[in-house]
Each structure stands twice: as C-alpha cells, then as structure tokens.
C-alpha cells in the first residue's frame, strides 16, 4: 500500500452530468480541474470509469445481444470514456496515461502493474479502460483488482447523488439510515448495494479500504482525495 495513492471509481453517467447526452463538457472539465488540484497536494490518482452512458446490459437485452457480446460492448464503451477523460485532463494540463486490459492499437497501452505504477510515480494520472478483458466481470471488480495491483491506499467510490452507504435506498426509503463507517462483512450480511459482490469480497480478503461519497457536491472528488469528504468509510 502506498500512502496517498487512490483509485477513483466513476460511473459512465457521471460524465454526462445527468444531461441525457453522452458527455457534459462541464462534468469533464470539473473532473479534470479537481484532479489537477489534488495532484498539487501530493496525491497519486488512477481512475476507472464505467460505460453506462454509452451501453448498459439492459440495452443489450432489448437488442437481443447475448451476455458475452454485451459485456464486450460494455468494455469497449469504457475505453471510449477513458479517452474522453484523458482529453479533458490533457486540456487542463494534466499528464495522463491510458492502460487497457487488451490491445487497442496505438491509442492506449496494454496494462501491466509495473508500467502503471511507474506512470503514477512520474506524476501522471492513470486511466484504466477495458474492464478486466473478461465477460461476467464488472468495472467494480476491475476497480478492486487494479487498486490492489497498483498498491493503492483506498478506493474512492463516487456515487451519483448519494452521500454514502445506507441501510436501504435513500431515494426510495425516507427512513434509510446512513452509516459513517461499516465493515465489509456487514455489507455482505445485509446485502447492501455498494459494489458488486465479487469486488466487495476481493477488497475484504485483501484489506482494501473504500470511501463512498456523493460526487455531485462541489469539490467532493478533491475532498475525497484529501480525506475531507462526508461519506461512508468501509473497513
């Protein structure tokens, strides 16, 4: 584990800012500026973004796409999003490197932990695309795996409009209680929807911490990197 090295997990929808479009310039620019500011505080940061703004499993079901093909489509969507984030960072003057789980020509490097860690030590933001390269694994599992491989201190899970882990969906249950801190075992026992079960088990077995927070509050990505955010600590 390397102190102040984090993996930021974003949904693909976070890049659209709930605009109904694939991307929001405002969301991408804000993400880049918050990351740029965090780097000034000595943070090393890698990032995994989902592909839900482009493709979701439900979309595939409606089109009659089988699971393996659909997962491959989703993995390609995450590479498109990695390129969008990379472009925003470059515009903001932030050096970055994209690593993918499988070869995609000259647009990104194929992942191996040694090279990714070298990029982080050079002060670059590392963006992971392509999931794990295998079907049936989500970007949650990819996040847990890459965080462990790159010796991150913690995974920062940016939620869309939810400021932590709750006993129930706070958007549906007004009596839902937010946890300031919770264990992985409690998450598994209570069946709470934080990340998928494979990712949760991987983090639990390897003592990888999570901070779950609301990315829609101003400067919260930066505050999460600086450990000043209101959210739920998963131990």
| Per-residue pLDDT reduced to its tens digit, 213-232 | 999 899 999 999 999 999 99
Domain residue limits, the chain: 2-234
- What's the burial of 51, exposed, middle or buried (CB within 10 Å: 0-12/13-18/19+)? buried
Contact between 39 and 123 under an 8 Å Cβ cutoff? The reply is yes
pLDDT single digits (tens) 183-224: 999 999 998 989 999 999 999 999 999 999 999 899 999 999
pLDDT single digits (tens) 23-49: 999 999 999 999 999 999 999 999 999
Whole-angstrom distance, CA of residue 226 vs CA of residue 43: 8
Task: For residue 158, list its beta bridge partners.
Answer: 213
- Average the pLDDT over 129-136 and give the result: 96
pLDDT single digits (tens) 140-160: 999 999 999 999 999 999 998
pLDDT, position 118: 98
Whole-model pTM? 0.94
Residue 18 — very low, low, confident or very high, per pLDDT cuts 50/70/90? confident
Report the candidate in 199, 162, 224 with the shortest Cα–Cα distance to residue 31.
Answer: 224
Report the candidate in 231, 226, 201, 199 with the shortest Cα–Cα distance to residue 216.
Answer: 231
Best CATH choice for the domain 2-234 from the list 3.40.50.620, 3.40.50.300, 3.40.605.10, 3.40.1160.10: 3.40.1160.10
List of residues 6+ apart from 83 with CB closer than 8 A: 98, 107, 129
Q: Is the pLDDT reported for residue 20 higher than 80?
A: no
Q: Is the pLDDT reported for residue 61 higher than 90?
A: no
Percent of the chain clearing pLDDT 90 (strictly above):
85
């Amino acid at each position: 584990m390397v102190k102040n090295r984090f993996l930021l997990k974003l949904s693909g929808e976070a890049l659209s800012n709930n605009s109904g479009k694939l991307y929001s310039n405002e969301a991408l620019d804000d993400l880049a500026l918050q990351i740029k500011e965090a780097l000034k505080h000595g943070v090393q940061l890698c990032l995994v973004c989902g592909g839900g703004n482009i493709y979701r499993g439900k979309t595939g079901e409606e089109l009659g796409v089988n699971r393996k093909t659909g997962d491959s489509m989703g993995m390609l969507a995450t590479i498109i999003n990695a390129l969008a984030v990379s472009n925003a960072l470059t515009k903001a003057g932030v050096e970055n490197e994209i690593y993918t789980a499988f070869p995609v020509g000259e647009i990104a490097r194929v992942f191996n932990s040694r090279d990714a860690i070298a990029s982080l030590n050079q002060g670059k933001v590392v963006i992971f695309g392509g999931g794990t390269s295998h079907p049936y694994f989500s970007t949650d599992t990819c996040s847990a795996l890459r965080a462990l491989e790159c010796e991150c201190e913690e995974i920062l899970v940016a939620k869309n409009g939810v400021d932590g882990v709750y006993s129930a969906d706070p958007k549906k249950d007004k009596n839902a209680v937010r946890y300031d801190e919770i264990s992985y075992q409690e998450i598994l026992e209570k069946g709470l929807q934080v990340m998928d079960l494979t990712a949760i088990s991987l983090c639990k077995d390897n003592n990888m911490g999570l901070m779950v927070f609301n990315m829609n509050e101003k400067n919260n990505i930066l505050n999460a990197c600086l450990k000043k955010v209101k959210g739920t600590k998963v131990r």
